[in-house]
């Protein structure tokens, strides 16, 4: 990264952010940037600079961009760029008396910020109720590293992050405040992350593929001792989940056989299994189902009523 000119990463981030804002506007049926009113909430960090430079790009595309500076240490180059592109800058006292904005860009606090918002940021947000929010990197006010929420924070419709996802994008309750998360590649070389999130392609790669000579026993037999006369739906749900085609054969043992066989006629009865599922809706039979499955010496999935039996 030492070979990059100074400010190159911020310019890449700003460009990605500006195009994400345009995409968000179009996704709401508002067309592109031209003629739209956009307000930037700008703190003292680099994400405030990202917002300002993105605002300059949007202004050059015909948007009417206004920056509300929430710090006297806002990024000087970004402020100058926005003004040069025709945007306006305000600080101290803000007003929306004659302005309806189409989108708010949250550049208040970046990844180095603490949970919660300062009163001036809360006051600025209170002037903009109901307006869609695009957050820069993370919603301001959430705990970036743990996903915790403590105090006031931004709830975004879209969060545009750079280089890689952060823990708060993946861990609730902060993840719920991110809205849709859009990742922008700005050319960072990053170490292996502390947490990972499986995408659809990752899950697909984990699904076993049957060998050409595979049969029901080589593909695995799963047995279920779940459900009861009181909760037959639990048996039907669990068996239907097991019977999606990944296992070679599915066995069911329990008092909800009539329900299960009606909807899954290919499921067979008692016998040896290579894994057991027990507990869902088992009611009074949970203890015996768990005891049997544990004695079998094969892998178990333990749910619901049988979880209580573990403490016995």
Q: How confident is the model at residue 34 (pLDDT cuts 50, 70, 90)?
A: very high
Tokens of 37: 């009113």
**Quick check: 290 pLDDT over 50?**
yes
pLDDT of residue 285: 85
Q: What is the mean pLDDT of residues 258-267?
A: 91
Share of the chain above pLDDT 70, in %: 97
pTM of the model: 0.75
Cα(284)–Cα(56) distance, integer angstroms: 67
Range list of β-strands (E), 61-155: 64-69, 88-91, 103-107, 133-136
pLDDT, position 218: 86
Q: Which of 246, 178, 156 is nearest to 208 (CA)?
A: 246
Averaged confidence pLDDT in the chain: 91
To 10 degrees, what angle do helices 46-60 and 8-27 make? 60
Whether the predicted pLDDT of 194 surpasses 90: no
Query: Where are any strands of DSSP class E within 34-171?
Result: 37-42, 64-69, 88-91, 103-107, 133-136, 158-162
Position 5 scores a pLDDT of 63
- Order of strands, sheet of 103-107, starting from the edge strand that comes earlier in the sequence: 88-91, 64-69, 37-42, 103-107, 133-136, 158-162, 180-184
Q: What's the average model confidence in pLDDT over 38-47?
A: 94
Q: Which of 124-133, 212-221, 225-234, 267-276 has the lowest mean pLDDT?
A: 212-221
Q: Are 119 and 140 in contact (CB under 8 A)?
A: no
* pLDDT at 275 > cutoff 90: yes
Residue 1 confidence (pLDDT) above 50: no
Name which of 217, 284, 282, 281 is nearest 251 in CA terms: 217
Assigned token pair, 166: 């952060």
Averaged pLDDT for residues 223-234: 92
Separation CA 201–CA 86 (nearest Å): 44
What's the pLDDT score for residue 207? 83
Show the CA angle centred on residue 117, arms to residues 116 and 122, nearest 5°: 135
- For the stretch 78-131, pLDDT in tens is 999 999 999 999 987 787 766 789 999 999 998 888 899 999 999 999 999 999
Closest CA to 42 of 76, 86, 18: 76
Whether 4 has a pLDDT exceeding 90, the answer reads no
Across 5-14, 153-162, 190-199, 257-266, the highest mean pLDDT is recorded for 153-162
Structure tokens at 131: 């307006």
Q: Is 101 helix (H, G, I), strand (E, B) or coil?
A: coil
Residues 139-186: tens digit of each pLDDT? 999 999 999 999 999 999 999 999 899 999 999 999 999 999 999 998
């Amino acid at each position: 990264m030492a070979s990059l000119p100074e400010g190159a990463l911020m310019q890449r981030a700003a460009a990605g952010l500006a195009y994400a804002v345009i995409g968000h506007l179009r996704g709401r049926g508002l067309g592109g940037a031209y003629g739209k009113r956009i307000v930037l909430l700008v703190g003292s960090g680099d994400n405030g600079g990202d917002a300002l430079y993105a605002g300059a790009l949007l202004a050059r595309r015909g948007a009417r961009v206004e920056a509300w500076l929430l710090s006297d240490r806002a990024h000087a180059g970004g402020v100058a760029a926005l003004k040069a592109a025709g945007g306006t800058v305000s600080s101290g006292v803000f007003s929306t008396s004659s302005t309806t904005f189409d989108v708010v860009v949250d550049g208040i606090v970046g990844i180095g910020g603490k949970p919660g918002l300062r009163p001036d940021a809360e006051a600025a947000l209170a002037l903009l109720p109901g307006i869609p929010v695009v957050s820069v990197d993370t919603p301001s006010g959430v705990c970036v590293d743990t996903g915790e929420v403590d105090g006031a924070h931004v709830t975004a419709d879209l969060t545009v992050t750079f280089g890689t996802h952060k823990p708060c994008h993946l861990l609730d309750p902060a993840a719920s405040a991110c809205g849709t998360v859009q990742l922008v590649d700005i050319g960072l070389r990053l170490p292996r992350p502390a947490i990972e999130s499986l995408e659809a392609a990752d899950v697909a790669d984990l699904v076993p593929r049957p060998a050409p000579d595979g049969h029901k026993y080589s593909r695995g037999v799963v047995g279920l001792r779940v459900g009861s006369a009181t909760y037959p739906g639990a048996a039907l749900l669990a068996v239907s989940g097991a019977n999606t085609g990944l296992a070679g054969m599915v066995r069911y043992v329990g008092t909800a056989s009539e329900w299960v066989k009606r909807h899954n006629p290919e499921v067979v009865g008692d016998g040896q299994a290579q894994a057991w599922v027990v507990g869902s809706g088992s009611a009074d039979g949970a203890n015996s189902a768990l005891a049997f499955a544990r004695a079998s010496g094969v892998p178990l999935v333990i749910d619901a009523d049988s979880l209580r039996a573990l403490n016995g």
